[in-house]
Chain A
Amino acid sequence: MTSRKYHAIGVAAVIAFIGLFLLYYKVKILGMPFMPDETKTVYRIEAKITFEGMNKPVHVSMALPQEQVGLQVISEEASSSGYGFTKSKTLYGQRAEWAKRRVIGPQTLYYTLELVEQEFVQKSEPEKKHQTRRKKELLLDIPVELQSAAKNLIKDIRWRSADPHSFTAQMIRDFSDKDPSQAVKILLAKSNITKQDMIYHMLRYEGLTVRKINGLYIDESHRNLKLIPLIEVLHKKKWQRFDLEKGKIEKDTHFFVWRRGGESILDVTGAKNSKITFSVNKRQVPSRYLIENKNIIKNSAILDFSLFTLPVSEQNAFRHMLLVPFGALVVVFLRVFVGIRTSGTFMPILIAMAFMETSLIAGVVMFILIVGIGLIIRNYLSMLNLLLVARISAVVIVVIAIMSFMSILSFKLGIEEAMTITFFPMIILAWTIERMSILWEEEGAKEVFIQGGGSLFVAVCAYFVMSNTFIGHLTFNFPEVVLVLLGIIILMGRYSGYRLTELIRFKSLTE
Chain B
Amino acid sequence: MFANPFKLKKLGVLGMNRRNVYCIAEHNDRRKYPLVDNKLKTKILAQEANIAVPKLLGTLSLQSEVRKIEHILKGLNGFVIKPAQGSGGKGILVVTSRKDDLFFKPGGESISFREIKQHISNTLSGLYSLGGKVDVVMIEQLVEFDPIFDKYSFEGVPDIRIILYKGFPAMAMLRCSTKASDGKANLHQGAVGVGIDITTGKALSAVQYNKPVIKHPDTGYDFSELSISHWKNMLELSARCYDMTKLGYLGVDIVIDQYLGPLILELNARPGLAIQIANQKGILKRFERIDTAPAYLTAYERIDFILEQFGKNIQLEFKL
For A499, the chain B residues whose CB sits under 8 A away are: 15-17
- A496 vs B22: C-alpha distance when bound (angstroms): 8
- A503 vs B4: C-alpha distance when bound (angstroms): 7
- A388 contacts partner chain B, Cβ-Cβ < 8 Å: yes
Interface residues of A in 425-448 (CB under 8 A from B): 442-444
Whether A388 contacts B126 in the complex (CB less than 8 A), given A442-B90, A503-B2, A509-B8, comes out as yes
For B281, the chain A residues whose CB sits under 8 A away are: 509
- A511 vs B9: C-alpha distance when bound (angstroms): 14
A509 x B26 contact (CB < 8 A):
no
Q: Closest A-chain residue to B133, C-beta based?
A: A388
Interface-facing stretch out of B167-175, B204-212, B231-239, B240-248 = B204-212
- B143 contacts partner chain A, Cβ-Cβ < 8 Å: no
Residue among B17, B210, B211, B277 with the highest chain A CB neighbour number at 10 A: B17
A1 x B277 contact (CB < 8 A):
no
Set A500, A504, A508, A509: member contacting B282, Cβ < 8 A: A509
For A498, the chain B residues whose CB sits under 8 A away are: 5, 8-9, 13, 15, 17
Q: Closest A-chain residue to B89, C-beta based?
A: A442
B189 x A387 contact (CB < 8 A):
no
- B127 contacts partner chain A, Cβ-Cβ < 8 Å: yes
Count class of interface residues, chain A: 20 to 34
For B212, the chain A residues whose CB sits under 8 A away are: 508
A388 x B21 contact (CB < 8 A):
no
Residue among A388, A496, A509 with the highest chain B CB neighbour number at 10 A: A509
- A502 contacts partner chain B, Cβ-Cβ < 8 Å: yes
Q: How far is the CB of B132 from chain A (nearest CB, A)?
A: 3
A496 x B21 contact (CB < 8 A):
yes
- B227 contacts partner chain A, Cβ-Cβ < 8 Å: no
A508 x B132 contact (CB < 8 A):
no
- A299 contacts partner chain B, Cβ-Cβ < 8 Å: no
A506 x B277 contact (CB < 8 A):
yes
- B295 contacts partner chain A, Cβ-Cβ < 8 Å: no
- B38 contacts partner chain A, Cβ-Cβ < 8 Å: no
For B89, the chain A residues whose CB sits under 8 A away are: 442
- A339 contacts partner chain B, Cβ-Cβ < 8 Å: yes
Interface residues of B: mostly helix, strand, loop or mixed? mixed
Q: How far is the CB of B146 from chain A (nearest CB, A)?
A: 27
A509 x B11 contact (CB < 8 A):
yes
- A503 vs B3: C-alpha distance when bound (angstroms): 5
- A507 vs B276: C-alpha distance when bound (angstroms): 11
Whether A505 contacts B4 in the complex (CB less than 8 A), given A443-B189, A496-B17, A496-B18, comes out as no
- A336 contacts partner chain B, Cβ-Cβ < 8 Å: yes
B3 x A504 contact (CB < 8 A):
yes
Whether A496 contacts B15 in the complex (CB less than 8 A), given A385-B122, A505-B277, comes out as yes
- A497 contacts partner chain B, Cβ-Cβ < 8 Å: yes
A502 x B207 contact (CB < 8 A):
no
For A336, the chain B residues whose CB sits under 8 A away are: 17
- A411 vs B98: C-alpha distance when bound (angstroms): 61
Set A1, A444, A500: member contacting B189, Cβ < 8 A: A444
Q: How far is the CB of B31 from chain A (nearest CB, A)?
A: 19
- A273 contacts partner chain B, Cβ-Cβ < 8 Å: no
- A510 contacts partner chain B, Cβ-Cβ < 8 Å: yes
Set A1, A339, A388, A495: member contacting B132, Cβ < 8 A: A388
Residue among A339, A443, A444, A506 with the highest chain B CB neighbour number at 10 A: A506
Q: How far is the CB of A393 from chain B (nearest CB, A)?
A: 12
- A502 vs B186: C-alpha distance when bound (angstroms): 18
- A494 contacts partner chain B, Cβ-Cβ < 8 Å: yes
B280 x A497 contact (CB < 8 A):
no
- A389 contacts partner chain B, Cβ-Cβ < 8 Å: yes
Set B1, B9, B15, B282: member contacting A507, Cβ < 8 A: B1
- B131 contacts partner chain A, Cβ-Cβ < 8 Å: yes
Q: How far is the CB of A444 from chain B (nearest CB, A)?
A: 7
Q: Closest A-chain residue to B15, C-beta based?
A: A498
Q: How far is the CB of B171 from chain A (nearest CB, A)?
A: 13
B125 x A508 contact (CB < 8 A):
no
Q: Closest A-chain residue to B19, C-beta based?
A: A496
- A339 vs B19: C-alpha distance when bound (angstroms): 14
Digitize B83-123: 1 where CB-to-A-CB distance is under 8 Å, 0 elsewhere: 00000111000000000000000000000000000000010
A388 x B131 contact (CB < 8 A):
yes
For B282, the chain A residues whose CB sits under 8 A away are: 509
- B7 contacts partner chain A, Cβ-Cβ < 8 Å: yes
- A504 vs B13: C-alpha distance when bound (angstroms): 13
Q: How far is the CB of A232 from chain B (nearest CB, A)?
A: 69
Q: How far is the CB of B156 from chain A (nearest CB, A)?
A: 15
Q: Closest A-chain residue to B182, C-beta based?
A: A444
Residue among B16, B125, B211, B277 with the highest chain A CB neighbour number at 10 A: B16
For B17, the chain A residues whose CB sits under 8 A away are: 336, 495-499
- A62 vs B88: C-alpha distance when bound (angstroms): 66
B126 x A510 contact (CB < 8 A):
no
- A1 vs B280: C-alpha distance when bound (angstroms): 27
Q: How far is the CB of B271 from chain A (nearest CB, A)?
A: 16
- A316 vs B110: C-alpha distance when bound (angstroms): 62
B277 x A509 contact (CB < 8 A):
yes
Q: How far is the CB of B25 from chain A (nearest CB, A)?
A: 9
A1 x B3 contact (CB < 8 A):
no
A508 x B277 contact (CB < 8 A):
yes
Q: Closest B-chain residue to A443, C-beta based?
A: B189
Set B16, B21, B88, B207: member contacting A508, Cβ < 8 A: B207
For B207, the chain A residues whose CB sits under 8 A away are: 508
Binding site for B on A (CB under 8 A): 1, 336, 339, 385, 387-389, 442-444, 493-500, 502-510
The 8 closest A-B pairs by CB, nearest first: A388-B132, A496-B18, A503-B2, A498-B15, A507-B3, A510-B3, A503-B3, A442-B88
Show 21 A/B contacts (Cβ-Cβ < 8 Å), sorted by A: A336-B17, A339-B16, A387-B132, A442-B89, A443-B189, A444-B189, A496-B22, A498-B13, A500-B2, A502-B8, A502-B16, A503-B4, A503-B5, A504-B3, A507-B1, A507-B3, A508-B212, A508-B280, A509-B280, A510-B3, A510-B8
Binding site for A on B (CB under 8 A): 1-5, 7-9, 11, 13, 15-18, 21-22, 26, 88-90, 122, 125-127, 131-132, 186, 189, 207, 210-212, 276-277, 280-282
Beyond the given A442-B90, A503-B4, A506-B277, could you list 5 further A-B residue pairs with CB under 8 A, ordered by the A residue number? A389-B132, A498-B17, A502-B16, A507-B3, A508-B280
